[in-house]
Amino acid sequence: MTVTLRVDATPTAGALTLRPWNAGDVEALVEIYRDPALRRWTSLHVENAEGAKWWLNIQERGWHTGKRLSFAVLEDDLPGVAGYMALRRPDPRGPAAGLAYWTAAHARGRGVAPRALDCLSIWALTTGGLRHLELIHDAANDASCRVAGKASFRLHHTLPDGSHLHMREYC
Ligand SMILES: CC(C)(COP(=O)(O)OP(=O)(O)OC[C@H]1O[C@@H](n2cnc3c(N)ncnc32)[C@H](O)[C@@H]1OP(=O)(O)O)[C@@H](O)C(=O)NCCC(=O)NCCS
């Protein structure tokens, strides 16, 4: 199974496409992962073309197992990859899933992450049989907390390590 999703343009930002990653994304990934902010807040890093292929392989396997539905986010009329959005389902038949995301440094501040997150969440809750979605971010990551809020993920509680767990439910 693969899925492509679309997000409408707003008065200030272009439309978005969420599509599965492909082999043509190697160069973009290597460039994007040079960003120190991205490396600070994420755990799986790409160092070079070999690393990018390994990373892409993980995303591809995720689609096969149904445990990780991972999308490249693209902005209409702008070149390159703007972001990453993934729905993680450790139990592909279970009622819950986790969300992960980043926006490439060159595309930040235009609402790419919250708009793509909202779109993927609506799709997951309406077509994927999911009842609730979770996302976790470091308490010091204010930008990620803003993304969660804009995409209707309410702060649920603080975990023992200090991270924030946000939740969005089916309604
Ligand atoms: C967090 C992140 C995904 C936000 O993505 P985005 O597409 O820029 O989202 P937004 O445009 O809605 O901006 C969110 C917040 O980022 C901050 N921001 C705005 N412009 C920015 C810029 N040019 N550069 C960095 N941060 C910016 C603001 O605090 C903004 O909140 P506000 O709109 O209330 O002012 C992105 O900064 C990122 O990828 N960071 C590194 C990786 C990361 O933290 N991933 C999440 C792990 S849980």
Q: Rounded to whole angstroms, how far apart are CA atoms 5 and 154?
A: 24
CATH of the domain at 25: 3.40.630.30
Spell out a b/e string for 92-120, using b for 16 or more CB atoms within 10 Å of the CB, else e. eeeeebebbbbbbeebbebbbbbbbbbbb
Residue of the nearest CA to atom 44 in ligand 1?
41
Do residues 127 and 120 touch, judged by C-beta distance below 8 A? Answer: no
127-136 pLDDT tens trace: 878 999 999 9
Residue 145: C-alpha distances to residues 8, 12, 128, 149 (Å): 23, 22, 25, 6
CA of 143 to the centre of ligand 1 (A): 4
Q: Which atom of ligand 1 is nearest to the CA of 135?
A: 48
Are the C-beta atoms of 124 and 97 separated by less than 8 Å? yes
Atom of ligand 1 nearest to the CA of 103: 39
pLDDT in tens, 62-116: 999 999 999 999 999 899 999 999 999 999 889 999 999 999 999 999 999 999 9
Q: Which domain holds residue 54?
A: 5-169
The ligand 1 site (C-beta within 6 Å) comprises: 37-38, 41-42, 101-103, 108-114, 137, 141-144, 146-147, 150
pLDDT in tens, 147-170: 999 999 999 999 999 999 999 998
The per-residue pLDDT for 168 is: 98
- The domain total for the chain is 1
